[in-house]
Structure 1
Amino acid sequence: MGRHFVGVDREGSGGRRRPVRVGAYACCGALLLAGCASMPDSGDLRGVESTPRQDSQVRVYAMPPRDDAQPAEIVQGFLEALTSDDAKYETARKYLTESAGKAWDPYRSTTVLTDAPNPESGNAGNRDGADGNSLYRLSGSKVATVDGQHAYAPDSGTYSKTVHLTRLKDTKQWRIDGLPQGVVMGKSDFQRNYVSINKYYYTSNSNSGAGGPLGTVADPVYVREQVDPMTQMVRALLKGPTRWLDPVVRSSFPSGTELKKGVKSLSPDDRNRVTVPLNHKADHVGRSQCTRMAAQLLFTFQDLTPTGVDEVELQKSDGSQLCVLTENQAGTVASHGTGHRPEYQYFIDDKQRLVRMPNGDKKPEPVPGALGEGDKKLRAAAVSRDESSAAGVSTDGSSLYVGSLVSGGSLGEAVLHSAGRTEDDRLTTPSWDGRGDLWVADRDPKKPRLLLLRKGEGEPLTVETPSLDGRIEAVRVAADGVRIALIVEKDGKSSLQIGRIVRDTSGDQPTVSILEPRSVAPQLEEVTAMSWAGDSRLVVIGREQDGVQQMRYVQVDGSAPVGTAPSTLTGVKEIAASEDERLPLVAHSEEDGIVRLSSGEQWQKVVKDGTAPVYPG
């Protein structure tokens, strides 16, 4: 009865996992353990208990159906088996008829519900199974769906599916002969079973002949954490990017590349090297292409083991070596973001100048150049990712200026003006992408626009936003230049949207569009601030309906990452994070001014009078 559990430590708050400690105990023997429920012999089910989320992760092994199990027990046992760490769902198939087992595809999708699915008898008052048939309806409230590409998407509404059972003529045993495709489970079981990992591709506009590192884009997916996640991730990487990201990224692996037939599991050897045997599709790639392939794997592997992976070897279909790439060498092939670690954090001081403070130093200083040394008063600013230029918004929000961060540099005329009637109807805080282009939204109700200035100068280009419903209140472009985070306001509610940036240079006039925006914090109805805080993560300030202000991390796919949320801070108006997750959060609090939060510490005051903190970007 029940399931067999093995306890292991959960991931810490950082990106890498702690070494595993394993201790086994069975459910259930002479003593009944917590989380182990008895199986009813007949009648309706009260609902399958979802395994509680605990600090210590539990590995779950399913138990096969016992002889003479009645329909209610078969349904409950099957649902329990879906939440186990059985790699191929072999135990779950033992609850099915032979034909149903062949037709069922558990890998098609995973439906996540608020609680475990609630099974209710659907036999319309007839005695359960009196005619050799039995029907159960599974119901619940949907939270999310993970598709066949392992891509997570928030979902809502009612889940309602039926499970049909029949009594086998030869053995007289009850088995399921009709069921929905995929698997279904409660949120706590999903969090215990699955882990989010980034796989990496290259931006479509990367110039492989330019000589420098290629730009990478994180594509987060969910895989089963205790079922050989390394091999799952390699297979997912080779199949290509998820559908939403596919139009703006590319893979270096030739089309049709798969693991060599017969390869069942991948793991690091005693030198922390992972050997990846490929099929014949990769046999004839050149060395430079092979190193790009290996770099994709190395970046993907970085959070799969406690210490990362030091080296990747790719093999041809005949077992001979294709190429080898070390972690140190990977940085010359590809880079996260711009490959530049910020030297400073920036904000607007009490004199309305742009100032900076070195990492680890609490003493701010005016930036060199007119935006720090001149007399132009600012209310917001953005610093280019190479920290050579900055853009500043005037105190009334009507004008945008761009200047170099060189001592003595002058400031020319404004590069952009807004005609909005009030300060809140004018320019947002700008944002620089990894290409050196500057983004800003004009909130003028008569002419709301998202604008792009190439290299921060020239005639602004109006960015097309055909599917965006509402007015843009804040803009943050990812370092990869293919994703953009927007706070969008409509009817008094503001939401966080992630859009895909598509550039079309085929015509006489190049166009830039934001396509397929998707809400990534649907539970928040008032989002007031946000910032990128990693390759696929943002930090968000907002509140739920009738709730209080909170600070949380969210993934670009809309899921909530496992780990410690930022500690509470009162009255946060603005937040800044770096895509380099080692750097501290910086915020503007109404009560405390500019404050900073380093990993493992509490919020520390920097200066009492200051606003608009930013990192380069």
Structure 2
Amino acid sequence: MRRTSSTTEPRTAAVAGTVLVAVLAGGCAAMPDSGGIGKVELSQGTVDKNLQVRVFPVGPVKGAKPEGLLNGFLDALTADESYDTARKYLTDEAAVHWNPDAGIQVLEANPTPRSNQTVTDTDTSFSIQVPGKVVAKVDDKHSYTFSGGQLDVDLPFTFVREKGGEWRIAKLPDGLIINQTNFRNSFRQVDRFFYAAQDPSAAGTTAVSAQDVLIADPVYLRRRIDTLTSAAKAVVAGPSDWLSPVVRTAFPTGATVDRVTVDEGRVAHVVLNGVELGNLTACRQMATQLFYTLADQGKGQVERLELKNPRGTGCQATSLDGPVNGPGALAGDAAARQYFQRAEDGVLMEARDTDGTAVRGPLGKPQPNKQPALGAIAVARDGERAAAISGNGHQLYSVALSDSASTMPEPLLSTPPRPGDRSEDALASPSWDGRGNLWVVDRDPQNRRVLMVRGSKVYTVPVDGLDGQVVQDLKVSSDGVRIALVLRNPAGARSLWLGLVVHGGTREAPTVRITGLRGAAPLLTEVASVSWAETDQLLVLGKENGRIQQLHYISTDGSPSSEASLQGGESMASAEASEFRADSPAQVPPVLARRASDGQIFRLINSQWREVNPNLRAASFIYPG
């Protein structure tokens, strides 16, 4: 269950130069009293009841000049249907060769055609440019990349006058051109799911080392054009280029979706072509990928999935069949537990409604012999142990949360103190993945590095593509193949990036590196904290240049996961969410936050910050991971 969904927010849709306000069911839509070729009605379908504005395209008007023809064509691209009407604006040859599925360029503002000439009655050809700032792109696999308006384009269109005297578009870019408001109105984000690639170096090291787990790979699909079939086709087609190095799919090359139907019993029936389904294990893996992809659309439409080929061979999947490999399965049984460190002595407490209980073992007691309180602590996903950094930042411990552990163990890692060390020039940001690997950042200016600890062995993790930036903080996902990094550039700005964790080697000689870095929220220039909030989104506390600090949900493809940022983050030092995958909004663990000025801790419940206890002061307030 996603923490937030943009499909539940009121939206505005710009159509043919007018603005239509889409409201929730039970409301109304403000209709324009003038404008161009758009026609609007309230949606009667059940696929997307929250968004009621529908746009129907109108073909070219007789005698239209090139600029009017181009405006009509661009408006037709936003319509809730296939592109048959849009092709009527093209010559026969262009209609055959134009590929609307080549991708989408999302412009900052409405496309405004521009020409350096005026069309005359004797002209037989004409050219128009469409300039704009691209805020995002969607590729031919429906994957989104945010660019933040940093890319200027000038898209060329060539028109010819045909024998009947009518103008038509003869040359144009492949794909769609659409402004960001119409993009949000016409497309919605859907998660498709793939299995995390196995780590060849971890075979047999832990009980979960070989466990399959599904990972969300978000895509953008048309809202009301058979979204279930579109989603099924997207998962069968394979993962995004970015995620593909760390995932695998059960679908063989050549498999295609024939049809998808859903009956009144909420059973999805998917028929595949080009695949044998006689191997029950392989069939169930495919069915599980499809089930979570269709069920995750949040409409309660699918409770079971039956997968067949045209000969009737097949299998089925439900959420009860594979909880051990469903999305978030490695988040752990302790994923919803809350912990805080007492500010006065660093003791780790498990939070209750308004107080806390000291954990078992040495972390539940003040440090002996008046030693400094421990620094950052991260509880493992299973809740059985925790990583702790010493008060001086130079030792890393892995400590059992058990009565059998009476004293602090020997450190897993020690780094040398250096003359003139600052508190931030040390170990920081411990984080656990769901397979038991511990991650940490070493900020030593003379030896900056990312480290992974497996068992008692420490491995340096190369990070590709830093381009002069340095890693300040990290948070690894429970699946262990994606990692959020806070990078600091030479100017001091702290930005959010996502990377892929690629494992290799053997059990005796493992290899690991972080690759595929991409900006997850380019407009945020000062990121204070980040945590995984679900299998496909992050909770980020940060601010844009010149603005106040706020909480933001960010999808793993870099797109905002809600229409507006969460309020109330200005005074917070950190915020934390859980990867716990809930079945309903009521079960979603609340966002946790700690106030910068006094260390008071809060929970975000029903969109309101609730103080845990006015007498509690904490150095951190966290979930496992």
Query: Is the Cα contact below 8 Å between 2:6 and 2:562 reproduced in 1?
Result: no
Q: 1:333: Cα distance to partner?
A: 5.0
Q: 1:429: Cα distance to partner?
A: 2.0
Any runs of at least 4 consecutive aligned residues in structure 1 with deviations exceeding 6 A, and if so which?
A: 22-25, 206-212
SS where residue 282 of structure 1 aligns? coil
SS where residue 191 of structure 1 aligns? helix
Aligned to 1:165: 159
Mapping of residues 293-304 of structure 1, within 5 Å: 293-304=286-297
For the residues of structure 2 that align with 1:69 and 1:417, how far apart are their CA atoms?
A: 75
Query: Is the Cα contact below 8 Å between 2:350 and 2:359 reproduced in 1?
Result: no
For the residues of structure 1 that align with 2:157 and 2:57, how far apart are their CA atoms?
A: 19
Give the 3 Å change call, closer, same or farther, for CA 250–508 of structure 1 in structure 2: same
Query: Is the Cα contact below 8 Å between 1:229 and 1:304 reproduced in 2?
Result: no
2:381 counterpart of 1:375 = no
| 2:357 counterpart (354, 362, 365) | 365
Aligned to 1:477: 476
| 1:597 counterpart (579, 600, 603) | 603
| 2:113 counterpart (111, 119, 134) | 119
Aligned to 1:584: 590
Query: Is the Cα contact below 8 Å between 1:10 and 1:56 reproduced in 2?
Result: no
For the residues of structure 1 that align with 2:402 and 2:496, how far apart are their CA atoms?
A: 35
Give the 3 Å change call, closer, same or farther, for CA 258–567 of structure 1 in structure 2: same
Aligned to 1:403: 399
2:77 partner amino acid: L
Q: 1:356: Cα distance to partner?
A: 3.4
Number of equivalenced pairs = 572
Provide Cα deviations, 1:448-487, integer angstroms capped at 9, x if missing partner: 01011103x23x1100113223211111000110000010
Aligned to 2:526: 526
Query: Is the Cα contact below 8 Å between 2:433 and 2:477 reproduced in 1?
Result: yes
Give the 3 Å change call, closer, same or farther, for CA 68–332 of structure 1 in structure 2: same
Mapping of residues 171-182 of structure 1, within 5 Å: 171-182=164-175
SS where residue 382 of structure 1 aligns? strand
For the residues of structure 1 that align with 2:95 and 2:461, how far apart are their CA atoms?
A: 50
Mapping of residues 44-83 of structure 1, within 5 Å: 56-83=51-78
1:113 partner amino acid: L
For the residues of structure 2 that align with 1:13 and 1:406, how far apart are their CA atoms?
A: 46
TM-score w.r.t. length of structure 2:
0.86
Mapping of residues 418-457 of structure 1, within 5 Å: 418=415, 419=417, 421-455=421-455, 457=456
SS where residue 517 of structure 2 aligns? strand
For the residues of structure 2 that align with 1:10 and 1:339, how far apart are their CA atoms?
A: 24
For the residues of structure 2 that align with 1:509 and 1:35, how far apart are their CA atoms?
A: 71
Provide Cα deviations, 1:505-556, integer angstroms capped at 9, x if missing partner: 1596322100111111111111121111111111111121222212111111
Query: Is the Cα contact below 8 Å between 1:594 and 1:605 reproduced in 2?
Result: yes
Q: 1:157: Cα distance to partner?
A: 1.4
Q: 1:436: Cα distance to partner?
A: 0.1
Q: 1:593: Cα distance to partner?
A: 2.8
Q: Which has the higher contact order (CA 8 A, sep 6+)?
A: 2
Q: 1:415: Cα distance to partner?
A: 1.6
For the residues of structure 2 that align with 1:57 and 1:591, how far apart are their CA atoms?
A: 45
Provide Cα deviations, 1:328-383, integer angstroms capped at 9, x if missing partner: 2232554524153425211211233343335x623212111111125262121001
SS where residue 475 of structure 2 aligns? strand
Aligned to 1:292: 285
2:213 counterpart of 1:215 = yes
TM-score w.r.t. length of structure 1:
0.87
Q: 1:204: Cα distance to partner?
A: 1.1
Q: Calculate percent identity across the aligned residue pairs.
A: 32
Give the 3 Å change call, closer, same or farther, for CA 488–305 of structure 1 in structure 2: closer
Q: 1:240: Cα distance to partner?
A: 0.7
For the residues of structure 1 that align with 2:555 and 2:227, how far apart are their CA atoms?
A: 19
1:152 partner amino acid: Y
Give the 3 Å change call, closer, same or farther, for CA 289–354 of structure 1 in structure 2: farther
For the residues of structure 1 that align with 2:255 and 2:238, how far apart are their CA atoms?
A: 10
Q: 1:616: Cα distance to partner?
A: 0.8
For the residues of structure 2 that align with 1:279 and 1:524, how far apart are their CA atoms?
A: 45
Q: CA RMSD in A?
A: 2.7
Q: 1:56: Cα distance to partner?
A: 4.9
| 2:95 counterpart (101, 108, 111) | 101
Give the 3 Å change call, closer, same or farther, for CA 10–57 of structure 1 in structure 2: farther
2:364 partner amino acid: G
| 2:338 counterpart (327, 333, 345) | 345
Aligned to 2:487: 488
Aligned to 2:142: 150
Aligned to 1:412: 409
When structure 1 is superposed on structure 2, of 338-347 and 231-240 the one drifting more is 338-347
For the residues of structure 1 that align with 2:474 and 2:158, how far apart are their CA atoms?
A: 50
2:433 partner amino acid: D
For the residues of structure 2 that align with 1:536 and 1:10, how far apart are their CA atoms?
A: 14
For the residues of structure 1 that align with 2:220 and 2:537, how far apart are their CA atoms?
A: 14
For the residues of structure 1 that align with 2:130 and 2:116, how far apart are their CA atoms?
A: 10
Query: Is the Cα contact below 8 Å between 2:80 and 2:225 reproduced in 1?
Result: yes
Aligned to 2:620: 612
Q: 1:79: Cα distance to partner?
A: 0.5
Query: Is the Cα contact below 8 Å between 1:583 and 1:598 reproduced in 2?
Result: no
2:330 counterpart of 1:331 = no
Q: 1:128: Cα distance to partner?
A: 4.4
1:488 partner amino acid: L
For the residues of structure 1 that align with 2:475 and 2:6, how far apart are their CA atoms?
A: 32
Give the 3 Å change call, closer, same or farther, for CA 23–147 of structure 1 in structure 2: same
When structure 1 is superposed on structure 2, of 444-453 and 274-283 the one drifting more is 274-283
